[in-house]
Structure 1
Amino acid sequence: MARMKFLCDAERCIECNGCVTACKNENDVPWGIQRRRVVTINDGVEGEEKSLSVACMHCSDAPCMAVCPVDCFYRTEDGVVLHDKDACIGCGYCFYACPFGAPQFPQEGAFGQRGKMDKCTFCAGGPEPDGSEAEYKKYGGNRLAEGKLPLCAEMCSTKALLGGDGQTISEIFRERVVRRGGSGAELIGWDTAYGKGGQS
């Protein structure tokens, strides 16, 4: 069975934000919410600047799931971490637990009242029936049900952002590192997100 994962190759990312735009358009993401964002490390330092496209990493041991008091998070058979907006109470615990800043909360009203949490769904929709209007309204497109990969990864012009089966992605990245003459140590955050002992 496939385990869906994201990987961003920092050697290829050019900070074009195409992935961010693709996500917003495909999923009709509400104003003020960024399911995906591009983070630049050592910004402006010549030769050391690296950019990464970051979203929910669909962790094997997701801290958001561990801290949610109403258990609105669940994991699909493909390893995608999703949530039920109807169960969410907007407490914000997941926001503080996630090391990637994936959970986002819209600020509603003049006094910034927190709404229901929103995050990357790996273009896998939510608990409503696949392809339904209710699913699209709450969670966006369900490309996985259509046999497609997340649009952010498909739209990446340099193929820096990879999305799909974790084993396939790790093999692609391993080949790239070998061609570049590296060891794979530049893969930022893999052990933190997915644990040690294999990239599957």
Structure 2
Amino acid sequence: MARMKFVCDAERCIECNSCVTACKNEHEVPWGVNRRRVVTLNDGVPGEKSISVACMHCSDAPCMAVCPVNCFYRTDEGVVLHNKDTCIGCGYCSYACPFGAPQFPSEGNFGVRGKMDKCTFCAGGPEEHGSAAEFEKYGRNRLAEGKLPACAEMCSTKALLAGDGDVVADIFRTRVVHRGKGAEVWGWGTAYGSQQAGQPPADQQQPAKAKP
């Protein structure tokens, strides 16, 4: 059985936020909740990197460990989901998650969190697959339709990868080997494999000196 995972390639992410928009549009995510967001490190300075972040569907999920009502469960594909009918809105999962995946709606009375919401890997929830109740609570179940998460499919640079963890790891490993690392990474060209790894782009190469 495949174990579903996300990987974001920081060398390819261009902070376009198409993954965020695709998620909101696909699942009609309520206002104030972002199941996925793009985080930029060293913004505006050399070494700036962006990465798309959501629930990573951990193999040993801390949210599951701290939930007092056990509303979390893991599917056969390794996707971590939750039952909104069981959730009491205590917020423990939000404090435990290192990725800030659990979200709470901004609407409602002061001091009332409401039902937790998070990325479902487009796998729906405990309701009947494809039902109106499932869509209303958890969004569209694309995995049941044989599709991958909308965020990964809409990524224009294929920075965000989703699917079988072994396959995703092989793709990312091949990219890293091809483009090198550290000082060998020259940016866009090597990230897309359009030039020999370790060589600068054509517009950055020094012109050859004429032989005497």
Q: Same fold (TM over 0.5)?
A: yes
Partners of 1:141 and 1:53 in 2: CA distance: 20
Partner of 2:169: 170
SS at match of 2:38: strand
SS at match of 1:39: strand
Structure 2 alignment gaps of length 5 or more: 183-212
Q: Report the equivalent of 2:96.
A: 97
1:27 and 1:58 map into 2 onto residues whose CA distance is 18
CA distance, structure 2, for counterparts of residue 83 and residue 163 of structure 1: 20
Task: Please give the residue correspondences for 1:177-192 in structure 2 after superposition, counting only pairs within 5 Å.
Answer: 177-182=176-181
CA–CA separation in structure 1 for the residues paired with 2:77 and 2:161:
16
Q: Distance in 1 between matches of 2:108 and 2:61?
A: 31
Q: Verify the 8 A CA contact 1:107 1:113 in the aligned structure 2.
A: no
Match in the other structure for 2:16: 16
- The aligned runs of 1:22-37 (5 Å cut-off) are 22-37=22-37
1:70 & 1:112 partners in 2: Cα distance? 20
Aligned length: 183
Q: Secondary structure of 1:135's match?
A: helix
Q: Find runs of 4+ consecutive structure 1 residues off by over 6 angstroms.
A: none
The 3-state SS of whatever aligns with 2:52 is: strand
Q: Per the alignment, in what secondary structure is the counterpart of residue 167 of structure 2?
A: helix
Alignment match, 2:136 = 137
Question: How far off is 1:112 after superposition?
Answer: 4.8
1:40 maps to a residue whose letter is: T
What is the identity percentage for the equivalent residue pairs of Structure 1 and Structure 2?
80
Alpha-carbon contact 1:54-1:100 (below 8 Å) kept: yes
Distance 1:163 1:68 in 2: 26
* Cα pair distance change 1:110/1:116, threshold 3 Å: closer
- In structure 1, the gaps of 5 or more residues are 184-200
Q: Is the 8 A contact 2:27 2:139 kept in 1?
A: yes
1:122-164 superposed Cα distances (whole Å, 9 cap, x missing partner): 0000000100000000000000000000000000000000000
Distance 2:147 2:131 in 1: 17
Match of 1:156 in 2: 155
- The residue number in structure 2 matching 1:59 is 58
Report how far residue 109 of structure 1 moved.
2.7
Which residue type is aligned with residue 43 of structure 1? D
Q: What RMSD, in angstroms, separates the aligned Cα atoms of the two structures?
A: 1.3
Query: Could you say which residue in structure 2 is the equivalent of 1:120?
Result: 119
Which of structures 1 and 2 has the bigger CA Rg?
Answer: 2
Distance in 1, Cα, partners of 2:45 & 2:170: 31
User: Distance in 2 between the 1:38 and 1:96 partners?
Assistant: 20
